[in-house]
Structure 1
Amino acid sequence: MIFIQTLIPDPFLVSLLLTFTIGFATTLVITPFVRNLAKRFGFYDSPSPRRVNQEGIPNIGGVSFILSLFLTMSLAMAINDEVGRIFLPVMPWLILASILLLLAGLFDDLHGLNFIQKFSVQVAVGGLLVLAGMQIRSIPTLFWGPVELGWLSVPFTILWVSALCNAINLIDGLDGLAAGIVAIAAGFLGILAIIHGDVGGGFLATIIVSVTLAFLYFNFHPAKIFMGDTGSLFLGFILSVLMIHHVEFQHRPESLLSQVVVLGIPLFDMVLTILRRAAHKRHLFRADRLHIHHRLIDMMGMDQKHAVLTLYAWSGAFGTLGVLVSLEGETGVFLGVAVCMLLIAGVATKLRYFRP
């Protein structure tokens, strides 16, 4: 009898696999249509000295996985009652926020937005999450335990959403890099969710992995389509939704830190970029060719594909570290963050990150 029971698939895993298949398949189907639409209406990425690709490539690929994600999420809510209970009340807010990001991304890809305009959109999107009831209400400290934020939870949540949006936007500099890193990070965030019994987080992470992996089929080098700001801003936003949800589910503020470790590559690239520009008295928000992926190419002599695969491996290492430290309690999480920072400092030194 026990042997027979082991042959019966777990309903939760079956529904996760079904959800993954739906998300993957719909993205594979939708992306070519979006690519043809981009060609027809002239949505192309403009070559520049900062970019690795020097030819016009359709740049609104984010539209494809945004549509796929919400379609798959709707089906997941029908498949699993718990997912519906968690996400149905906030779905209108998520859709509204995504539409706002979609319009801002399209306008930016066509005409360009300055940082203030982008940040204003991110503040509005973060505000919509707060209105939906999704907030980071406390933060962990090493010696004083969790600190309740009170009214500060509103600006903290908004800044967290903005940070994730910008981190993914900044790392989107090579074919397949942002999509792959998000897929890897979401996979580890999904593992964290499943370990702690977070059904909703497990499903959302699975959907993110499915649509980004399918998009990689078209986006990996040599890319046939880019996600554009439309896609990178949305991926940062939906990751912030996943992370905030998981923190709320666990009621453990330190779980936020283990998730920060999982997203170590894009988050620390963003922080190091700001510090480097400030150290050299350069405009903090003006694009350059000095991000970690550019350094791997320019300083280490890697080609584009090798640099992307290297960052995939590093992301996998940080994801593994994030999962392991989450199992060790509060002290382990802080230790993991310290190790993560030391690793990043070593990489930054090796790549001469702070030299002009």
Structure 2
Amino acid sequence: MSVWWLLPLVVGFSFFLTAALRRYALARSMMDVPNERSSHSIPTPRGGGVAIVITFLFSLVSLCWTGWIDMAFFIGAFGTGAMVAVIGFMDDHGHIAARWRLLGHFVAGGWALFWLGGLPELEVASVVLHLGWIGGAFALFYLVWMLNLYNFMDGIDGIASVEAVCACLGVCILYGISGHQALIWAPLLMVAAVAGFLIWNFPPAKIFMGDAGSGFLGIMLGMFSLQAANVDSRLFWGWLILLGVFIVDATFTLLRRLARGDKVYEAHRSHAYQYASRLYGRHLPVTMTVLLINVFWLLPIAFSVIRFNVDGVLATIVAYVPLLVMALRYRAGELEVKAVNPKR
């Protein structure tokens, strides 16, 4: 049974729910007020990502009902997404200590892995690896890192939404050409859920995603990639390539801050995309550049892995090298010396 009819309903529901959440945030003074670590200059409502969470989770029910996803993935995704969103929502309303927040993230990641069946075998440089419990531990840290890096990268208008739309649409193409059409529906409905919110979040943003939405997106994309790895190892590398902009910027920035001895759990604005937005004085050029990189650089490389059977590790390295150069060019992880008043 086709569920194409569900897509416009999901976009519309997400759009109107975001509008309602914006009114709620304004009424409750849930505002993201600019400070010295902000990348915006105007107080803006936050928490709009809850619309993505609610819309997508309810659309998952339809997918499960029509048989397009299996019950195990549904239970894992619904439970994991709900846990992460609740933690993020509570943090949006009042600060939660980093250690308790991180503990919750690991519990959510563990729940996801239980229903996914852990990390499947992966093909690395033509060698099939069976990693066992080590792979399970790696997969758990991978999911928690995906959750947190997405939260770190949600710092300027539209960037997290655009990244999710590009990655999910790109992987739908990969699923189609590899003959795994059954996997298309979950990421396609995620595109629809994010699109309704993006109308409000596109620069200049009228509402921000908040931790509930960004963390939810990060761990859901991580789950999608592990689900795909269970079907075809090449699809996992495809996911890593498509998410390259976020993975490279967030990971390189974290490593640089760790090496300097910074408290990495504290808020900052030293990611490459944040430096770039201050350099150009606007968020739109940076967000649109991320879109163009995804479409014209990362998608063709991911396509080559599936269509022409290019080695996934080699393709990922090729995809990441220019991104790393850009991260260095835009000072990712460098200590900010001079305060700047950016525009939002």
Normalising by structure 1, we get a TM-score of: 0.87
Q: Which residue of 2 aligns with 1:315?
A: 294
Superposed, 1:1-356 pairs within 5 Å as 15=2, 17-78=4-65, 80-81=66-67, 83=68, 86-142=69-125, 145-250=127-232, 252=233, 254-298=234-278, 300-316=279-295, 317-329=297-309, 331-353=310-332, 355-356=334-335
> Is contact 1:97–1:125 with CA below 8 Å preserved after alignment?
yes
Q: Deviation string for 1:226-283 (max 9, x for gaps)?
A: 1100000000111112111111122x2x432221111001111111111221233322
Amino acid at match of 1:314: I
Q: Distance in 2 between matches of 1:323 and 1:114?
A: 41
Aligned residues: 334
Q: Structure 1: where are the runs of 5+ without partners?
A: 1-10
In terms of mean alpha carbon deviation, does 47-56 or 209-218 score higher?
Answer: 47-56
Distance verdict in 2 for CA 1:191–1:280, change over 3 Å: same
Q: Which has the larger radius of gyration?
A: 1
Distance verdict in 2 for CA 1:336–1:24, change over 3 Å: same
In terms of mean alpha carbon deviation, does 175-184 or 340-349 score higher?
Answer: 340-349
> Is contact 1:19–1:76 with CA below 8 Å preserved after alignment?
no
> Is contact 1:193–1:202 with CA below 8 Å preserved after alignment?
yes
- Identity percentage over the alignment? 21
Amino acid at match of 1:341: Y
Q: Which residue of 1 aligns with 2:342?
A: none
> Is contact 1:47–1:53 with CA below 8 Å preserved after alignment?
yes
Q: Deviation string for 1:6-33 (max 9, x for gaps)?
A: xxxxx8xxx3532322221211222112
Q: Which residue of 2 aligns with 1:4?
A: none
CA root-mean-square deviation: 2.0
Q: Deviation string for 1:287-344 (max 9, x for gaps)?
A: 211112112123x435211111112212222133212223232x43222112122212
Structure 1 SS opposite 2:43: coil
Amino acid at match of 1:120: L
Structure 2 SS opposite 1:285: coil
Amino acid at match of 2:135: S
> Is contact 2:272–2:331 with CA below 8 Å preserved after alignment?
no
Q: Distance in 1 between matches of 2:23 and 2:13?
A: 16
- Kindly report structure 1 stretches of 4+ aligned residues shifted beyond 6 Å: none
